[in-house]
Amino acid sequence: MPTRKVTAAVKTFSMLLSSATLLVTSLISLQPSYSIEFPSTGNRGGPARTTGGGVRGGDCRDGASQAHQVFSLTPLMPLNISGEYQNTFVDDSVVMLFYVPDGVRNKYAEVYVEDPNTGEVVYESIFFLATPPRIMQVSFPAFSEETGETLEMDKDYLWEFAIICDFRDRGLDIYTSGYTRRVAPPSQLPPTFDQLQNWTVASADSYAQALIWQESLRILDHVKCDSQAEWTEFLNSAGLDQAITQVSLEQCRAE
């Protein structure tokens, strides 16, 4: 049988362990939680987006997908005051995320960027999509390939992203379009995105409050599996439909 000293020691250890558990629980409960929303910049609260900003008239997905799919090609970004998709960024590259409808296979896609004032082509690329992910990243350098000049600050550039159903009839494209604008980061944020040290919800919120969509989205995309509530709230605040938000979290459920 255990001696009185051993019994007392066990009781003391149990009390210390309980106190430590209580302390850890208290500290966890005191950790900051973030409610992250992208401030309203324009046309919010309208009907759900079912066309992704524009469909030229075609649909080259397989038949089963056509029958069950509601949403078409949709950028993960908010609308500006004119009701156009608007990306804002500070990086040396434009990086955008798109919801790609199920059933798009073995098709070519095109990214096209131009200065809407002059018609100058800033960037153009056609690439093959074997089986694209449902949430797809599209990026291009923040400078004109034609002139080599960096995209001007605080100037809107028109972009289009199209899935080409038939090269002989581009009117059948599944496409979406919008604008992207390079802005200067606030003084409290790094001058370039590559210098960002902390990929946290708090960092994403700092960019969001400065109305910088791209960097806030990229940070949250990086941590979304551990911050699903914040990711969902952020996308919902930009007017993205809940169904698209759920698709964006599929990889988290698979891990």
pLDDT band (50, 70, 90) for residue 146: confident
pTM over 0.85: no
The mean pLDDT value for 216-230 works out to 95
Per-residue pLDDT of 43-71, as tens digits, reads 544 333 334 445 555 567 655 444 445 56
Instruction: Please give the Cα distance from 52 to 131 (Å, whole number).
Output: 20
Other CB atoms within 10 A of residue 222 CB: 13
Count of H-run helices and E-run strands, the chain? 7, 8
Return the ∠ at Cα 27 (arms to 23 and 30), rounded to 5°. 140
Q: What pLDDT, on the 0 to 100 scale, is given for residue 72? A: 83
Helix (H) or strand (E) holding 121: strand 121-129
DSSP state of 172: G
Spell out the CATH class of 49-254: mainly beta
Q: What pLDDT, on the 0 to 100 scale, is given for residue 143? A: 82
What average pLDDT is seen over the chain?
80
Per-residue pLDDT of 240-252, as tens digits, reads 988 899 999 998 9
Token readout for 63 is: 């038949």
Domain positions in the chain: 49-254
Torsion of CA 115, 116, 121, 122, to 10 degrees: 30
> In the chain, what percentage of residues exceed pLDDT 90?
51
Per-residue pLDDT of 85-121, as tens digits, reads 999 999 989 999 999 988 888 999 999 999 999 999 9
Return the ∠ at Cα 185 (arms to 39 and 182), rounded to 5°. 85
